[in-house]
Amino acid sequence: MYQRIKNNLDMEIVKDFLESEQTDQKVVRRMEELTDMLDGAYGGNRSAFGMGGYILFFGDMQTYKNHISKLMEFYHLDKDLSEYSRQIEGTADSAILWREELYLLSSDDSIVLIYPEATEAV
């Protein structure tokens, strides 16, 4: 399953789910930072398709793998041409590595993908 988060209200609602799934707190905080930036620049009451963009959070690698090609095709994006791609530093006890990627959809619209990158052997 994935979550679409466009503003702080969405983040507040999704946060309960993320905590119940024991999602790394550093990942949750990063998503809160991103929604703060979007709300600050574009307003927190914009519609689902309003300018500014949103976060797509993929809670597991299989969901990400199943949907990334459809997503890239829908938005006419190339997976290798993100504006940036970085690992989100997790807590020391986390076995999951998380990735954050930004894609520009237009001059005022973007999408940030957050997904698990790999699982280390424990």
Q: What is the pLDDT along the chain (122 residues), one digit of tens a residue?
A: 789 999 999 999 999 989 888 888 999 999 999 999 999 888 888 766 678 889 999 999 999 999 999 999 999 999 999 999 999 987 666 778 999 999 999 888 999 999 998 655 44
CA angle, corner 25, sides to 52 and 16, nearest 5?
75
The pLDDT of residue 52 is 85
The pLDDT of residue 90 is 73
Contact 23/89 with Cβ under 8 angstroms? Answer: no
Contact 28/36 with Cβ under 8 angstroms? Answer: no
The pLDDT of residue 122 is 43
Whole-angstrom Cα distance, residue 20 to residue 5? 17
Report pTM. 0.88
